[in-house]
Amino acid sequence: MIIVLKPEATQAEVDHIMEKIRERGLSPHLSTGQERRVIGVIGDERTIQNVPLAIFPGVESVTPILAPYKLVSREFRKDNTIVTVGDGVAIGGRLIPVMAGPCAVETKMQVTSVAQAVKKSGARVLRGGAFKPRTSPYAFQGLAEEGLQFLAEAKKATGLPIITEVVDSRDIDLVAQYADVLQIGARNMQNFRLLTDVGKQRKPVLLKRGMSATIKEFLLSAEYIMAGGNHQVIFCERGIRTFEQLARNTLDLSAVPLIQKLSHLPVVVDPSHATGRWDLVAPMARAAIAAGADGLLVEVHGNPEEALCDGEESLTPPKFAEMMDSLRKIAQAVGREI
C-alpha cells in the first residue's frame, strides 16, 4: 500500500499514520520526494484494507498494491480451472459449450421440444428459468418447482445437463436437486448471502456480471463463492448498462480477455441478454467466440411471438441452427470447437 502525504502534513500527522500501520503488524517506510512524501507499507496489506487511511489527517491519497481477491486470481492458481457440468461437459478447455434454451420454462412440451432442437444443432447444455426475476411484479414470475420438473423431463429426453437460476437461498436445495449448474443472475451478483450459500453446496455456479459491476467487483463476488469451498465457478458477461439505448445493454467483450488474465476461472458470454434483440445475437455470439469466450448462453424459443418472457431476444430453432453453423467456423479459426 502506498500512502501519499499532503505537502502540508505535519510530523505529528505522519507519526500518527505510521503508528496505526505498525499497530496492525505492518512496517511503514517513509520516503521523501521532490514534491511529496510517500509512505510505503510492507506486509500483507489485506490486514489494513479496512482502515480508512484516506481520511487520516495529512493523507492525500492511498493506493493498494495487491488485488483484494485471492482465490479467484491467477496468482493463486496459474492453470485454467475446468468446470465439469453434468456427465462431462468441460467448460474452460478447448471446447466452447453452447448452453441454449428458453428464457422461461412454460410447458413440458415447450422445453422438451426446444431441448431436442438445440441438441440437434450442437448445444451441450439446456438452459431455462423456473424462477424468474422480473422488473415488474405483474410479469410472469416462472413456474417454480413445476418448471424444474419440466427441465428434468427434457434432460431425460435429451441427455443434456441443465443450468437454471436460483434467486433465493431458500430454494438452493430444491434447485440443486434438478440442476447441473446453478445460475446466479445479474441482479443477485451482490446478494452476498446467496453467494455464500451457493458456496456451501457443491454444484457448479454460473455467476452473471451485475448490470453495473466492475470486473473487480465481479471477481470479488466469485471470491465469496470460492471462500465457501466451492471452486467450480463460471463467470458470465451479459452486458453492462450504459447510456446507449438501441440495445438493452452494452456487451463488454473486453471483459473476456481481461478476466482470463486476472483469473483462472472460465468466462462465458450471454449475447441474448446483452443485446435484448434476436437480430444481434448471432453477430455478438460470433464476436464472443473470436474474443476467446469459453462458452455461450443463448435463448431459443419455439415461437418467440408467444414467449412469456424475453421473446424479443429469442432465436427460433432454425435461426439457432444457422448461427451454430457460423459459430463452428469461428471456433475453428481460433483453434477451438463448439
Window 182 to 201, contacts with its own copies (CB under 8 A): 187-188, 190-193, 196
Roughly how many angstroms between the first and final C-alpha of the chain, as a whole number?
44
Question: Minimal distance in Å, beta carbon 160 to its own copies?
Answer: 25
Which residues within the stretch 300-319 sit at the binding site for its own copies (CB under 8 A)? Answer: 304-305, 307-312
Three-state secondary structure call for residue 229: coil
Residues 6+ apart with CB under 8 A from 63: 1, 2, 4
- The span from the CA of 231 to the CA of 60, in Å, is 39
* Cell matching residue 46: 489485506
Which residues within the stretch 247-266 sit at the binding site for its own copies (CB under 8 A)? Answer: 247, 250-258, 261
Using CA atoms, how far residue 321 sits from 52, 104, 113, 305, 316, in Å, is: 54, 20, 14, 19, 9
Q: Which residue in the set 288, 298, 300, 324 belongs to the binding site for its own copies (CB under 8 A)?
A: 288
Taking contact as CB under 8 A, which single stretch among the options 52-60, 112-120, 121-129, 200-208 is the one that binds its own copies?
52-60
- The span from the CA of 192 to the CA of 245, in Å, is 30
The 7-36 site mask, x for binding its own copies (CB under 8 A), equals x------------x--------x-x-xxxx
Which residues within the stretch 143-182 sit at the binding site for its own copies (CB under 8 A)? Answer: 167-170
Residue 120 found at the interface with its own copies (CB under 8 A): no
Question: Minimal distance in Å, beta carbon 258 to its own copies?
Answer: 5
The 74-93 site mask, x for binding its own copies (CB under 8 A), equals -x------------------
Which amino acid belongs to residue 287?
A
Asked whether 182 and 175 are in contact (CB, 8 A), the reply is: yes
Phi-psi region of 229 (alpha: psi -120 to 50; beta: other; left: phi over 0): left
Question: Minimal distance in Å, beta carbon 87 to its own copies?
Answer: 30
Taking contact as CB under 8 A, which single stretch among the options 111-119, 144-152, 154-162, 277-285 is the one that binds its own copies?
277-285
Question: Minimal distance in Å, beta carbon 42 to its own copies?
Answer: 5
Tally of CB atoms within 10 A around 166: 26
CB nearer to its own copies: pick between 7 and 88: 7
Which amino acid belongs to residue 129?
G
CB nearer to its own copies: pick between 82 and 258: 258
CB nearer to its own copies: pick between 73 and 149: 73
DSSP bridge partners of 62 = 3
